[in-house]
Amino acid sequence: MDILVAYDVCTETAAGERRLRRIAQICLGFGQRVQKSVFECSLTEAQFETLEDRLVRCIDPAEDSLRIYRLVEPRARYVRAYGRDRAIDFRAPLVV
């Protein structure tokens, strides 16, 4: 499944800055950054459950916002990207 993760973390405190870095690191382990606080991920159901659990445990629900959207497939038909688009299709053949 393809998902989009977007978050907004309150960074007015040192703890908020740590949460922001931790959330970004978690997301980098599952997908690729497409904007500063937005990641696209292609996951199995088990990976999705793991990612969601780790992110929900990391945020402060009183201060932060986390949104996870499931993208309609095929993604190329429904997602249009303009401007700097450095997304890599990891399912495409790798040319060395």
pLDDT in tens, 46-79: 999 999 999 999 999 999 999 999 988 777 777 7
Q: Which tokens hold the place of 74?
A: 């095929």
What CATH number does the domain containing 7 carry?
3.30.70.240
Distance CA(2)–CA(4), nearest Å, equals 7
Place of tokens 């199995």: 44
90 in a structural domain: no
82 in a structural domain: no
**Least confident window among 8-12, 71-75, 79-83, 89-93:** 89-93
Q: Where are the alpha helices (DSSP H) in 31-90?
A: 45-58, 75-78
* Beta strand residue intervals within the chain, DSSP E: 2-8, 31-35, 38-42, 65-70
Distance CA(21)–CA(86), nearest Å, equals 21
94 in a structural domain: no
81 in a structural domain: no
The count of domains in the chain is: 1
Domain that holds residue 8: 2-74
